[in-house]
């Protein structure tokens, strides 16, 4: 039996709730072996980010090459990329290695509001990584920032922004509705043929640290296991909704606590 393997390329979260740590927890919770390439070290906790130390771009490349030289990677998730040089290195490596599935979470701002991507790196993200992606997973503010537009507030505006993001070269866009309002959190999966609305009850909790990282990792896990994109997204949405719902079982930190990645197990 072949073991499904997913790779996360992202930043480390010293408090364990987001980034590389959340990604590896997600892969494990969903029965996928996780490998990692670290782009940055962060000094952070549930209250915020107090420092970022970027990994040199050539060492990002060295990590990617080491993993691909030995492991059979079923899907790649890209999270925090930190700087232009890292984006260029990742784009060059993935163009050369051509993994079957790439899930790009365009991480720009942490749950706490701290900026995680330099402004000048946004254009490099647009031109270097988005064209390589099977799917990108921006939330409403990130989708607007990628397009230099205001945040969409209606279904028609969200679908329109999704179509314009598709034009940047990715195969599909999942615009996440967690920053919206109303009783339901509605995500929109947009590809060349369809727009699918995926609704889940909005959970009243402040423990949402790592939600976006974990959702994109869950999609990558599904793709690594051989699911098609719609099935992977539906399963990931169902899993992250349950992880948010179970988050208040934890009492971790004094700010935005983590979601419960292993809610199925304890």
The DSSP letter of residue 129 is I
Active site residue 210: yes
Active site residue 169: no
The DSSP letter of residue 226 is T
Structure tokens at 37: 């390439």
22 neighbors 79 (Cβ within 8 angstroms): no
CA distance linking residue 146 with residue 138, whole number of Å: 9
Angle subtended at Cα 114 by Cα 61 and Cα 182, rounded to the nearest 5 degrees: 110
Catalytic residue among 213, 222, 237, 257: 213
Catalytic residue among 19, 34, 162, 210: 210
The DSSP letter of residue 115 is B
Catalytic residue among 208, 222, 237, 257: 208
Catalytic residue among 16, 162, 212, 257: 212
Q: How many helices (H) and strands (E) does the chain have?
A: 8, 9
Catalytic residue among 17, 19, 42, 176: 176
Q: Which of 92, 28, 14, 62 is nearest to 220 (CA)?
A: 28
Active site residue 170: no
CA distance linking residue 40 with residue 86, whole number of Å: 9
Catalytic residue among 8, 111, 211, 222: 211
Catalytic residues: 176, 208, 210-213
């Amino acid at each position: 039996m072949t073991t499904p393997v997913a790779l996360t390329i992202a930043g480390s979260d010293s408090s364990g709730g987001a980034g590389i740590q959340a990604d590896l927890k997600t892969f494990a919770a969903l029965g996928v072996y996780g490998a990692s390439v670290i782009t940055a070290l962060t000094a952070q906790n549930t209250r915020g980010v107090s420092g970022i130390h970027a990994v040199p771009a050539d060492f990002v490349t060295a990590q990617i090459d080491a993993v691909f030289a030995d492991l059979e990677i079923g899907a790649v998730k890209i999270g925090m990329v930190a700087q232009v040089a890292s984006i260029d290195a990742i784009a060059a490596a993935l163009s050369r290695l051509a993994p079957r599935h790439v899930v790009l979470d365009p991480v720009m701002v942490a749950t706490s509001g701290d900026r995680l991507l330099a402004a000048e790196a946004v254009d490099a993200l647009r031109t270097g990584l988005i064209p390589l992606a099977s799917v990108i997973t921006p939330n409403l503010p990130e989708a607007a920032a990628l397009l230099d537009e205001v945040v969409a507030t209606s279904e028609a505006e969200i679908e329109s922004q999704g179509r314009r993001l598709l034009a940047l070269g990715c195969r599909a866009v999942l615009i996440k509705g967690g920053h919206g309002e109303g009783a339901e959190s509605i995500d929109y999966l947009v590809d060349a043929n369809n727009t699918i609305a995926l609704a889940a009850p909005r959970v009243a909790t402040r423990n949402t640290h790592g939600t976006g990282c974990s959702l994109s990792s869950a999609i990558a896990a599904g793709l690594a296991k051989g699911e098609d994109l719609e099935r992977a997204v539906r399963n990931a949405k169902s899993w992250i909704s349950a992880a948010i719902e179970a988050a208040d079982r934890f009492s971790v930190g004094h700010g935005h606590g983590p979601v419960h990645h292993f809610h199925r197990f304890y």
